[in-house]
Structure 1
Amino acid sequence: MKKTLKQLAEWLKIDEQLHEDVTVTGISIDTRTIQAGDLFVPFRGESVNGHQFVEQAFEKGAAASFWLNDEPNPPENRPLLFVDDAEQALQKMAIAYRSEHKATFIGITGSNGKTSAKDIVASALAPYFKVQKTIGNFNNQLGLPITILQLDEDTEISVLEMGMSGFGEIELLSRIARPHLAIITNIGEAHMQDLGSRAGIAQAKYEITQGLLEEGFLIYDGDEPLLCDLVAEDAYTEAKAFGFSTAHDLFAAQITATEQGSSFTVEGMINGNFTIPILGKHQVKNTLAAMLVCKAMNLTGEQISEALAQIELTDMRMQLIPKGPLLFINDAYNAAPTSMRAAIDFMQSTTIRPEKWLVLGDMLELGNDEQVFHEELAQTIEIEAVQYVCLYGPRMKWLYDKLTAKFDAAHLIYSEADYTPIVQKIQAEASEESIILLKGSRGMKLETILQHFS
């Protein structure tokens, strides 16, 4: 973005009092990372008032700043935009910038896999277009507008992740972004405590279609009956399904895992054999969604194949990490029952190494049924396929109690609040034959275990 303060004031329909020739080239909400030319956005929190940092922002190169109308003592002779609500002002600016931007906008949501899907889509398109994507977790009603306002004017494709915790939030983001293409990766159990049921979660995710452009279409997990029902009831949205059934517009089969990644066969709108440097059947499914985007952007099968072979994911998503003779899979960024089962299924089926270790941490934010969700994992874990299970966190005690009937004490470890017993068990028993999965919710920080190995 490169706009004058006068243009921003026109977007916001406010009077701009000073410095019409000031040019803004970015957005910042943190003086620690502010860049020259940024518009600084101060927020008032319970303990900190961002207005106290406005002068510091200017000293570090800010071109201008918001100032709330009811905040006293605005600095004199500084280029300020006076607004009633900083978050709403950012959203209005993002809507205005989006309306004049020529990029193709792609919106992605889902209970699990949306960050991986975002990374795969962006990586697959990057060799052929100028692509910008959501950075980090800037995927909410504040982060998404900032992401849009940070787009370069010559960006050709914007890949926007959309997160939520309740009804109405994805609709807001979709109406701001007005995507040409929308992806729903899957429906899991995250935010069950806020949305009541998986059907409620599906309905909340389906809100992404509310801002979808008329000429655009939805790309969705066709293996999820809840999404299939919503698509069938929607007479206005064109939709394309991906998954593992031959009935879908694009489906995958013959999935094989190696230490280099996954190979698979694709049929439907695209046909051929493909390889990705990522592990997991669920990541193959995310790749199918990305392939449908590539097809919509008129890439050939050969171009898609070449790009997929080089894709990269954000860390801690089925990330292979060798540590001496040991091989870890760091999938510790987050966890919910759906993604936990997918990771366990991968481990039990993989032939990369013969000795399988599951190091599992608590799944958080599951509401009143959290005990049931943890206990049900016992049905997924097969004693014939897994040699060691290490459980961490107070909620994993529920799973531990269920697994004591399957595993003896030498192969089942539980620790409520200390990684040490798990680390010591791996150090004592694991070998060059071992592959070790780390999987838990973000708050469990299971990647900490890796620090004990070199």
Structure 2
Amino acid sequence: MKKNLQQLANWLNIENQAFPETVVTGISIDTRTIEQGDLFIPFRGEAVNGHRFVEQAFEKGAAAALWMNDEPNPPQHLPLIFVDNPEIALQEMAKGYRNEHKATFIGITGSNGKTSSKDILASSLAPYYKVQKTIGNFNNQLGLPITILQLDEDTEISVLEMGMSGFGEIEFLTKLARPHYAIITNIGEAHMQDLGSREGIAQAKFEIIQGLDDNGVLFFDGDEPLLQNLITKQPTLSTQSVGFTQGLDLVASNIVANAEGSNFHVEGTIDGDFFISVLGEHQVKNTLNAMLVSKALGLTDEQIRAALKQVVLTDMRMQLIPVGDVLFINDAYNAAPTSMHAAVQFVNQTSIRGDKWLVLGDMLELGDDEQQMHEEIAQHIDSDVVSYVCLYGPRMKWLYEKLQGQFNSELLVYSEADYAPIIETIKQYATNDTLILVKGSRGMKLETIIQNVAQ
């Protein structure tokens, strides 16, 4: 972005802007990461008032800053834009920049797989277009506007992740981003405590169509009846479906994993054999959406095939990590029942290594049914295939008690709040034939186990 303060003020309907020719080239809400030319946005909270850091932001390279109208003692010598509410101002500036930008915008939501889908799609398009994607978890009412305002003016494709915890949040984000294409990866159980049911979750995710371009297309998990039901109520909505069920627009089969990734076959809008350097059937389904979007943007099957071979995911998403002789699958970024079942199922089926372990941590934010959802993991663990199960966190005690009849006591390890028993078990009993899945909600920080085994 390269805009002067008068242009920003116009987006905010502000007249008589001081320092109108001062140019900003980015957005920052944190003086620790500010870059030369940024517009610094101070927020005022109960504990911290960002206005205290405005002058420091200028010292570190900021070109200008916002300032709340009711905040006293604004520095008179600095380029400031005066606003009533910095958050609303941020969103309005993002809306203004989005309205001017010529990129194709793609919005992604879903219970699981948003970040993986974003990475796969952006990697697939990057050899052929200038692509920018949501960085980290900047996917909410603050993060998405920042992502939009950080787009280069010559960006051709913007891949935007959209997160939520309640109704109305996706609607807000999609109306701001106005995507040309939208993806719903799946419907799981995350945020059940806020949305009440999987039907409620589906409805909240489906809000993404409310900002979809009039000629836009929704790509979705065709194996999910809740989405199919919602789509039947939108007869004018253009859609394409992916999954493992015959009759969908793109169907994957013959998925075979090895230490490098997954080979699979597709039929439908695209036909042929493909490879992606990512593990798991659920990641193959995420790939199907990326393939269809790539096709819609004009890529050939061969271009799609070549790009998929180069895909790299954000860390801690089915990430293979060798530590000494042991091979870990680090899937510790997050967990909900749907993604937990998929990851465990992958371990059951894979032939990458013969000695298979599970290191599982609590799944958070599941609401009143959390005990049942933890216990149900037992149904997916094949005791004839899995050697050791190591469980961490207070909620995993429910699964531990459920598994006691399936595993000998020395093969079933439980620790409520200390990683050490699991780390010691791995160090003592894992071999050069051992594959260990590590998965739990972000708050459990299970990557700590891998880091300590490596020491």
Give the equivalent residue in structure 2 for 1:401.
401
Give the equivalent residue in structure 2 for 1:362.
362
Stretches (4+) displaced over 2 A:
none
CA distance in 1, matches of 2:382, 2:355: 13
CA deviation after TM superposition for structure 1 residue 138, in Å: 0.2
CA distance in 1, matches of 2:433, 2:16: 67
The alignment status of 1:215 with 2:215, answered yes or no, reads yes
The alignment status of 1:433 with 2:433, answered yes or no, reads yes
Contact 2:5 2:17 in 1 (8 A): no
Query: In angstroms, what is the RMSD of aligned CA positions?
Result: 0.7
Contact 1:262 1:277 in 2 (8 A): yes
CA deviation after TM superposition for structure 1 residue 178, in Å: 0.3
Spell out the pairing of 1:342-361 with structure 2 (5 A cutoff).
342-361=342-361
Give the equivalent residue in structure 2 for 1:3.
3
CA distance in 2, matches of 1:159, 1:253: 27
Give the equivalent residue in structure 1 for 2:307.
307
Give the equivalent residue in structure 2 for 1:411.
411
Number of residue pairs matched by the alignment: 454
CA deviation after TM superposition for structure 1 residue 369, in Å: 1.0
Letter in 1 for 2:439: K
Among all aligned residue pairs of Structure 1 and Structure 2, give the percentage whose two residues are the same amino acid.
69
Contact 2:9 2:17 in 1 (8 A): no
Give the equivalent residue in structure 2 for 1:68.
68
Give the equivalent residue in structure 2 for 1:86.
86
Contact 2:426 2:453 in 1 (8 A): no
Give the equivalent residue in structure 1 for 2:378.
378
CA deviation after TM superposition for structure 1 residue 392, in Å: 0.3
The alignment status of 1:443 with 2:434, answered yes or no, reads no
SS of residue in 1 equivalent to 2:409: coil
CA distance in 1, matches of 2:421, 2:94: 50
SS of residue in 2 equivalent to 1:265: strand
Give the equivalent residue in structure 2 for 1:241.
241
CA deviation after TM superposition for structure 1 residue 453, in Å: 2.8
Letter in 2 for 1:411: L
Contact 1:16 1:81 in 2 (8 A): no
Letter in 1 for 2:440: G
SS of residue in 2 equivalent to 1:167: coil
Spell out the pairing of 1:174-323 with structure 2 (5 A cutoff).
174-323=174-323
CA deviation after TM superposition for structure 1 residue 382, in Å: 1.5
CA distance in 2, matches of 1:17, 1:261: 55
Contact 1:35 1:60 in 2 (8 A): yes
CA distance in 1, matches of 2:131, 2:265: 27
CA distance in 2, matches of 1:415, 1:16: 63
CA deviation after TM superposition for structure 1 residue 16, in Å: 4.0
CA distance in 2, matches of 1:16, 1:231: 48
CA distance in 1, matches of 2:189, 2:450: 28
Contact 2:438 2:446 in 1 (8 A): yes
SS of residue in 2 equivalent to 1:418: coil
CA distance in 2, matches of 1:334, 1:399: 18
CA deviation after TM superposition for structure 1 residue 313, in Å: 0.1
CA distance in 1, matches of 2:428, 2:381: 23
Give the equivalent residue in structure 1 for 2:17.
17
SS of residue in 2 equivalent to 1:223: coil
CA distance in 2, matches of 1:329, 1:159: 26
CA deviation after TM superposition for structure 1 residue 70, in Å: 1.1
Question: For structure 1, which runs of at least 5 residues remain unmatched after alignment?
Answer: none
SS of residue in 1 equivalent to 2:31: coil
Letter in 1 for 2:44: R
CA distance in 2, matches of 1:16, 1:25: 21
CA distance in 2, matches of 1:21, 1:227: 49
Letter in 1 for 2:200: G
Give the equivalent residue in structure 1 for 2:77.
77
Give the equivalent residue in structure 2 for 1:98.
98
CA deviation after TM superposition for structure 1 residue 82, in Å: 0.7
Contact 1:218 1:239 in 2 (8 A): yes
Q: Deviations over 1:315-358 (max 9, x none)?
A: 00000001111100000000000000000000000011111100
SS of residue in 1 equivalent to 2:166: coil
Q: Deviations over 1:5-50 (max 9, x none)?
A: 0000001001243111100100000001111111000001110000
CA distance in 1, matches of 2:235, 2:38: 43
Letter in 1 for 2:421: P
CA distance in 1, matches of 2:70, 2:169: 27
CA distance in 2, matches of 1:268, 1:387: 39
CA deviation after TM superposition for structure 1 residue 283, in Å: 0.3
CA distance in 2, matches of 1:68, 1:126: 39
Normalising by structure 2, report the TM-score: 0.99
CA distance in 2, matches of 1:85, 1:225: 42
CA distance in 1, matches of 2:251, 2:162: 25
CA distance in 1, matches of 2:272, 2:366: 39
Q: Deviations over 1:266-312 (max 9, x none)?
A: 11000110001110000000000000110011100000000000100
The alignment status of 1:28 with 2:28, answered yes or no, reads yes
Question: For structure 2, which runs of at least 5 residues remain unmatched after alignment?
Answer: none
Give the equivalent residue in structure 2 for 1:124.
124
Q: Deviations over 1:58-96 (max 9, x none)?
A: 111111110111111111121111111111111111111
CA distance in 2, matches of 1:104, 1:151: 12
Normalising by structure 1, report the TM-score: 0.99
Give the equivalent residue in structure 1 for 2:340.
340
CA distance in 2, matches of 1:369, 1:334: 18
Letter in 1 for 2:339: S
